[in-house]
Amino acid sequence: MKYITIIVSLIVTATLYMLTARPEVNMTDDRLTPEEARVIVNKGTELPFSGKYHAHKEKGTYVCKRCGAPLYLSAAKFDSGCGWPSFDEEIPGAVRRQGDSDGQRTEILCAACGAHLGHVFFGEGFTASDTRHCVNSISMNFVPADARQTETAIFASGCFWGTQYHLQRVRGVLTTAVGFTGGHTSRPGYYEVAGGGSGHAEAVQVVFDPGVVTYAELARLFFETHDFTQVNRQGPDIGTQYRSEIFFRNEEQRRVAGELIGVLRAKGFQVATRVTAAGEFWPAEEDHQNYYVKKGGSPYCHVYRKIF
């Protein structure tokens, strides 16, 4: 059955390619070639088996061609035989889904800049996740595993929408994802956490380039965009899921968090922020990812104030 699906997909996509092979290109970024813009901006499709990554097997990270945000790890790539790079999962929070203009398929876009990537399909039985991200090679670049050093941080400071809003705007932050951590249940959902019984905090996982922005800079922004003196609440949001907490991933992060709290206490603040070793981070549902990017506006309980 899955082979029939693939054949149908090839026929449909090849037809679409012929229909959109040379549209009027809306160049919104002069870094893109006309062919890149045809796919990335105007939502075109490259011919099957023509892209440089469809049979690519090197270890590393596939990133957005337009903005450089990490999208997929090589471990998620598999050979579906469809002629385009196939992945069974994205980096949490890196890819946005929306209904395609054809009314049938689900389009996938870079969550950071909105670049068109391709489409996602379900129920084909290729992998355990039963999901296939069918991505145009031309929408991506590839970074070998040893070519780029990244670091991950996890912060909780009340409603994760507002925390993400500030962190994702920092130069050097590669990707962010909202989710849950610090609790005692597996794969929690939003309403389970909101009920307060799972023990999780609403948190944001940040992948960043330490050569561009330091962990200390991100931690300072964390403190400067919420009220870290409040216990188990942030503004009108009340409950342990809204606590202020830093989940450190190594000894250096723990040291930096401790030093910053010491500075704040020396300034007279009664710091309620916890510092805890990081555990499993569970990404939240898609409708919570990049909330203010999708909805517009700005957070009402996460306002920047200079402290350091």
DSSP the chain: -HHHHHHHHHHHHHHHHHHHSSPPP----TTS-HHHHHHHTT---PPTT-STTTT---SEEEEETTT--EEEEGGGEE--SSSS-EES-PSTTSEEEEE-TTSSSEEEEETTT--EEEEEEESS-SSTT-EEEEE-GGGEEEEETTT---EEEEEEESSHHHHHHHHTTSTTEEEEEEEEESSSSSS--HHHHHTT-S--EEEEEEEE-TTTS-HHHHHHHHHHTS-TT-SSEETTEESGGG-EEEEESSHHHHHHHHHHHHHHHHTT-----EEEE----EEPPGGGTTHHHHH-S--SS-------
Residue 307 lies in a domain: no
Report if residue 188 sits inside a domain: yes
- The pTM assigned to this predicted structure is 0.59
98, 123, 144 - which closes a domain: 144
Does residue 286 sit in the same domain as residue 253?
Answer: yes
pLDDT at 28: 45
If asked whether residues 114 and 69 sit together in one domain, one would say yes
Contact 64, 139 (CB under 8 A): yes
pLDDT at residue 14 tops 60: no
Res 150: pLDDT: 83
Domain boundary residue among 144, 173, 208?
A: 144
Query: According to the model, what pLDDT value does residue 1 have?
Result: 47
Identify whether 68 is part of a domain: yes
CATH of the domain at 251: 3.30.1060.10
Shared domain check, 181 and 104: no
Task: Identify the CATH number of the domain in which residue 70 sits.
Answer: 2.170.150.20
**Residue tagged active-site, from 64, 82, 110, 159:** 159
Whether 301 is a known active-site residue: answer no
Give the residue, 26 or 131, on which the prediction is more confident. 131
Domain boundary among 144, 168, 195: 144
Domain hosting 106: range is 2-144
pLDDT score of 5 more than 80: no
| 37, part of any domain | yes
Residue 15 has pLDDT above 60, yes or no: no
pLDDT in tens, 254-273: 999 999 999 999 999 999 99
Q: Are residues 272 and 159 in the same domain?
A: yes
Tell me what pLDDT residue 147 has.
Answer: 62
| Section 105-127 average pLDDT | 94
* pLDDT value for 291: 87
What is the total count of domains within the chain?
A: 2
8 shares a domain with 130: yes
What is d(CA 249, CA 184) in angstroms, rounded to the nearest whole number?
Answer: 18
Active site residue 82: no
Give the range among 87-96, 126-135, 228-237 with minimum mean pLDDT.
87-96
103 & 24 share domain: yes
163-187: average pLDDT: 91
Average per-residue pLDDT in the chain? 88
Does 251 fall in a domain?
A: yes
pLDDT tier, 30 (very low <50, low <70, confident <90, very high otherwise): low
Is 15 among the domain residues? yes
User: pLDDT value at position 155?
Assistant: 98
Q: What is the mean pLDDT of residues 135-146?
A: 91
Task: Give me the catalytic one of 64, 110, 134, 301.
Answer: 134
